[in-house]
Amino acid sequence: MKAIHADVAKFRTPVNAGVQSQKGNALIEFAFVLPVFLVLLFGMVTFSLGIYDKTVLTMATREGARAGAVYDAGNYDSDGDLDVTSVQTKARNATLAVLANKLISFGSKTPTVDNPSITGDILTVTAHLNYTGIFFLTGGQDISATSSMRIEALQSYASP
């Protein structure tokens, strides 16, 4: 019995024999994972800000179209004809006001609002923004939004 016990003890090795020190392994693994994690994090933030800015552009063009389309006696001249310049100015100013207050920008971002067009009785407002996000290395992405609304007119009804 003693001989068998001695043979087993001869083959028994320490648990950590042959293993080098593992003190720096966690640091090395962290160094590999951190850049991937940061790229994913900044990518999500950049994408989210792009979606937000697109939503703000859409909201601003809608507000501009609404401001120009709502009936206002000042939008008509003395002959009762639509003053196109007045409607376009109101639509453009309302769009720029929303963009100035709500848009998230890094650096100097200047949104552009095309001259609102009137076709028949439809007012169309279009706004553009060159979105670069957090990463300034890329050239940017053009984000645009367009909204159209029917221009309201004073209706005269014949009394019965």
pLDDT (tens digit per residue) in 27-40: 899 999 999 999 99
pTM score = 0.72
Task: Name the pairing type of β-strands 112-113 and 122-131.
Answer: antiparallel
Give 159 or 87, the one with higher predicted confidence.
Answer: 87
Q: Per-residue pLDDT tens for 58-110?
A: 999 999 999 988 877 777 777 777 778 888 888 899 998 998 888 877 656 67
- Output the CA–CA distances (angstroms, integers) from residue 93 to 20, 38, 69, 145, in the order listed: 70, 40, 13, 16
Q: Residue 61: which region, alpha, beta or left (left: phi > 0; alpha: psi -120 to 50)?
A: alpha
For the chain, which domains are there? 45-160 (3.30.1300)
The amino acid sitting at 73 is A
Residue 113 is predicted with a pLDDT of: 81
Residue 4 is predicted with a pLDDT of: 58
